[in-house]
Amino acid sequence: MMYLTMFHWGWLLASLLLGFGMGWIAVVHRGRGVSKKTAQWLSVLVAALIGAALSRIVPGRFGYWLDLGLIMFAVYLVGCAVGSWLRDRVVSRQAAVG
C-alpha cells in the first residue's frame, strides 16, 4: 500500500484536487441526486470491490489497478468532503455578514 502512495503520489494529489473542486461546486449546484435504489446498488458494488481487494482475489496487474483505483476513489471522496465543507463555511459566513 505504501508503494502505491509513494509511486503514484501525483495521481493521488490530482484525485484530491479534483475531488476538492467537485465538492466546492456541488454546494452551489443543487442537482438531483441518485435514487435510493441506485445508491444501494452502488454501495454494494463498492463493498464488493473493497472485499475483492482485501481478500486478494484479483491477481497481478488487474489487482494492482483495483487497489490503485480504490485508493484514488477514497482520496477523491475525501477531497469532495473537504471542498463541500469549506464552501459551506464560506457561504454561511457570508450569509451571516450580509
Per the domain annotation, does 90 fall within a domain?
yes
Tally the domains of the chain: 1
Q: What integer pLDDT is reported at residue 3 of this predicted model?
A: 77
Q: Give the burial string for 78-94 (b: 16+ CB within 10 Å, else e).
A: ebbeebbeebeeeeeee
Per the domain annotation, does 4 fall within a domain?
no
Q: 19 with 83: CB under 8 angstroms? A: yes
- Closest C-alpha to 68, from 14, 21, 25, 24: 14
Q: What integer pLDDT is reported at residue 1 of this predicted model?
A: 66
Give residue 74's identity as a one-letter amino acid code.
A
Q: What integer pLDDT is reported at residue 2 of this predicted model?
A: 76
Per the domain annotation, does 52 fall within a domain?
yes
pLDDT in tens, the chain (98 residues): 677 778 889 999 999 999 999 998 886 666 677 789 999 999 999 999 999 999 999 999 999 899 999 999 999 999 999 999 998 888 877 766 65
Q: What is the domain extent for residue 67?
A: 9-97
Q: What integer pLDDT is reported at residue 97 of this predicted model?
A: 64
Per the domain annotation, does 2 fall within a domain?
no
Query: What cell was used for 53?
Result: 481487494
Per the domain annotation, does 47 fall within a domain?
yes
